[in-house]
Amino acid sequence: MRRLALCLLAVLVATPTIAQDRIVVIGGALTEIVFALDQGHRVVGRDTTSTYPPEAAAQPDVGYMRALSAEGLVSLDPDLIIADAGAGPRETVDLLRAAGVPFVQVPTAQDAAGVLARIDAVADALGVDGQPLHQRVAAGFAALQRPDGADGRPVRAMFILSATGGRITASGSDTAAAGILQLAGAENAVQGFSGYRQLNDEAVALAAPDVIVMMDRIGDHALSDAQIQSHPALGLTPAAQAGRVVRMDGLYLLGFGPRTPQAARALMDALGG
């Protein structure tokens, strides 16, 4: 590790740069914040999760945020790396810091306060005024109103992360999914645990959600309407029987970046439909 760190340091020393003019961003929501701060012209690389805005997606892809390569990052000659707190692995982060690459990690977010704190942290790292964006996003959160179901209670929603082999993995508390459901005025139909967990058929049926919420995706993790209807547990839920399934882009729905007020509003409208 020491030899690799020295090699990385040599690469950095050999190429003079202007402070913070070359930014690599790791984390889709953080990339959105950088561009919303009108600093996208400084971005020279991004991770696989950074797909919005289109200008970001056009930048070199350094790989998945949890499987980063120190060599790949340093090859872009960054003056600063801004990364989600979950970026890694730890060995890569340690190598970058040992090589002298400024590496700022920004906490994850699951609520409005977390999004605003992210905006402030990114603006501070970039040395720009983040207050206009902070205030605009804060106003978006303040404008959200909480809808109730037809009988006066909040809509009960189940967020399904994946359904590989018909086995349902759903969100409990303390997740981005739980956070966006709360912002949209919904009640999480799945209670009693933190994080994401695979549920047995009995737990799925007992949750009895009014609406099923999923990321708009394809492949083994996805569920079509027909698969929901035919599933031995999901098919029994009020959501399946009423055909109430909401699918949204994953980064938009769960990213907790500057577009989150709009995502919460869109989900709120869909839940109330």
At how many degrees (to 10) do helices 131-142 and 260-272 cross? 10
Q: How does pLDDT run across 18-47, given as a tens digit for each residue? A: 457 899 999 999 999 999 999 999 999 999
Cβ atoms of residues 158 and 175 within 8 Å: no
Q: What is the pLDDT of residues 67-81, one digit of tens each?
A: 999 999 999 999 999
Closest among 200, 156, 199, 192 to 172, alpha carbons compared: 192
Output the tens digit of pLDDT for each of the chain's 273 residues.
444 444 444 444 333 334 578 999 999 999 999 999 999 999 999 999 999 999 999 999 999 999 999 999 999 999 999 999 999 999 999 999 888 989 999 999 999 999 999 999 999 999 999 999 999 999 999 999 765 555 568 999 999 999 988 899 999 999 999 999 999 999 999 999 999 999 999 999 999 999 999 999 877 677 899 999 999 999 999 999 999 999 999 999 999 999 999 999 999 999 985
The per-residue pLDDT for range 182-216, each reduced to its tens digit, is: 999 999 999 999 999 999 999 999 999 999 999 99
Are 152 and 181 in contact, with CB atoms under 8 Å apart? no
| Burial label, 263 (beta-carbon count in 10 A; 0-12, 13-18, 19+) | buried
Of 55, 52, 74, nearest in space to 4 by CA: 74
What would the two tokens of residue 216 be? Answer: 């708009």
Q: Give strand ranges (E) for the chain.
A: 23-26, 43-46, 80-84, 103-106, 156-162, 168-171, 187-188, 196-199, 211-215, 245-248
d(CA 273, CA 263): 15
Residues 6+ apart with CB under 8 A from 272: 147, 155
Contacts of 247 (CB under 8 A, 6+ apart): 213, 214, 215, 216
pTM of the model: 0.89
Q: Which amino acid is at 56?
A: A
Structure tokens at 237: 């839920």
Domains delineated in the chain: 2-141 (3.40.50.1980), 156-272 (3.40.50.1980)
Distance in angstroms (rounded) separating the CA atoms of residues 8 and 76: 12
Dist CA 73 CA 8 (whole Å):
10
Residues 149, 155 contacting (CB under 8 angstroms):
yes
